[in-house]
Amino acid sequence: MGRIVGIDLGTTNSVIGVLEAGRPLVISNSEGSRTTPSVIGYSKESELLVGQQARRQLVLNPKNTFSNLKRFVGRTWEELDENSLNVAYTVRANEEECVRVTCPVTEREYAPEELIGSIIRKLIDDAEKHLEESIESAVVTVPAYFNDSQRQATRDAALLAGIRVERILNEPTAAALAYGFDKKSASKVLVFDLGGGTFDISLLSISNGVFDVKATSGDTQLGGNDFDKKIVDWLADEFLKEHNIDLRRDRQSLQRLSEAAEKAKQELSGLSKTPISLPFISTGSNGPLHIETVLDRRKFEYLCKDLIDRLLIPVETALNDSGWTADDINDVVLVGGSTRMPMVHQLIRTIVPIEPSQSVNPDEVVAVGAAVQAGILSGELRDLLLNDVTPLSLGLETVGGLMKVLIPRNTPIPVRQADVFSTSEANQSSVEINVWQGERQLANDNKSLGKFRLSGIPPAPRGVPQVQVAFDIDANGLLQVSATDRTTGRKQSVSINGGSNLNENEVNKLIKEAQEKADFDRRKRASIDQKNNALTLIAQAERRLRDVALEFGPYGAERQQRAVEVALRDVQEFLEINDLAELDLAVSALQEALFGLNRRISAEKRVDNNPIQGIKNTFGSLKDELFSDDYWDDDPWDYNPNEGKRERDYGRKELDRWDNDYYN
């Protein structure tokens, strides 16, 4: 099996890791950062931007820049709450009630999985550059409380990025793998995972390399963004009272409020109060309006008291399901940047009377754990074993709309569970199997994962036919359901994927489109990089010419300076007319000219350090210049501005590399 990477696909930031020489390693992206913002955008020229480049245009181009997409993955329109829709871009439902994101500049609607696939692709591209080899497989993490639809949708996103998912891994479980990777002693661990958009709690027993998940719980609609929104609402409400203007109705103002709120939240983790300054946030009848205020930690905690209460409920649920008490916990591992908030630390200490571990980085620990799991799957790590659980109960609908649970929550996976059912009417020739996931008694109060029909049942009185329904959950937490008529042996099975935002045809269509445009996208990216490199070289050449003129005067290295100036004009000319083929040649010529100038300046400096040799070389240079043919050919009165281009078209005049003037 080839190299497998581990991907932490986060709401706010994403991270990729790999196992190197038996140790997990986080890979930096092309910008040099170890975390990549989970932001996708399109510029005014319809160019795809991912990560930090997209984040930079959040305020100036909010309609075409998309963040917090993880909350939309695998969810229908009816499942979204008001907080999820509080974004600066447009979110709508299509004909099938699936979530779609509208992008005005490209005049297209995107499924969240399609956009998230671009994030995964960037992570993979950066990792391939680092490892200098291609990557085809990955372990992708998801919140432990993601249901089957959300897991399927995450797999679709990776598929659109051209990556095969070897394992869907729960984020708290990944964090525990990273924490207990090199620990030999047995311990009971509580993993508290509060990310940007989701919250998970998991209890694990770690002993001799065996990671046994006992219970998990959480809230997929609770995260750091909700704490940010409390500050946004507070600022907007105060502004509304004072100026009668609701800033949340303006996209740019809303995005500025969100960024200021996130910054204030982070600063309040280390300070008792922080100033919030937003000049020119809006315009009133008397001119520009500003926000200048101070938020203290006590006020912030008061605003978020209901969110703290929501954090407590899943913790209590997980403890009850596991049968453990708070005193049984040996270690607490914090995951996610939002766990740095003092109020969260205080909450944890009221639940478990021990200090949380500081040995892992909350922002990177999930990716590290995913890399460890990748090492287990590839065979590099042979002494570790992971036993995970299913987060939610699975069952089917019976007579009266009740849900019959076949697999209770926190059941170890992989697992197979079956039960026998019968018909509810006489001579019934078929039965409909409707699969549900959740903890409510009535089926309609839970999440429907899909349905299928088993036909061909022989006529018989009510209750006589026997239909065996089996649920199979694999190691990824993905479900397959089968139904068998015991009388005829007729069988019908289905892999549940009805909750995904994309059906199989849409996925295949998007993959084909990406493959068809791959060469075009690659050429476009290469041309952009080529232009950027040329602009960088121009700036370097101009700066070098200026420095040389200041230090040695306009005639200190006249021939070399003129060569740089001619090559510089050529690069600027081909940049302006967008002639990439000639631009490449001109860039090479400018690099060569700069090299010659640097050599000449180095020689001048050596001469300055030896005055006697400098006088000899000066007279020698004057003699060579006055009596050489090149001197008269280079008469500035005969200078032709097209000389550089003519030489490039018909062959550059070869300089004699043994000529004293070439090096001096």
Catalytic residue numbers? Answer: 8, 70, 171, 193
Q: Are strands 447-455 and 385-389 parallel, antiparallel or unpaired?
A: unpaired
Cα–Cα dist 369/171, whole Å: 8
Are the CB atoms for 467 and 485 separated by under 8 Å?
yes
The widest CA-to-CA distance across the chain, in whole angstroms, is 119
- Residues contacting 389, CB < 8 A, separation 6+: 213, 214, 215, 216, 409, 410, 411, 412, 413
Distances (CA, A) of 40 to 134, 238, 302: 23, 31, 33
What SS3 string covers 615-639? HHHHHHHHHHHHHCHHHHHCCHHHC
- Residues contacting 658, CB < 8 A, separation 6+: none
Alpha carbon 110 to its chain centroid, in Å, reads 17
Q: Helices 305-322 and 342-351, interaxial angle, to 10°? A: 30
Please name the residue that has the structure tokens 């329109």. 77
658: tokens are 């043994």
Cα–Cα dist 75/323, whole Å: 32
Cα–Cα dist 488/473, whole Å: 26
10: tokens are 């986060």
Are the CB atoms for 140 and 169 separated by under 8 Å?
yes
Cα–Cα dist 325/313, whole Å: 15
Distances (CA, A) of 141 to 47, 151, 170, 453, 563: 28, 9, 5, 33, 56
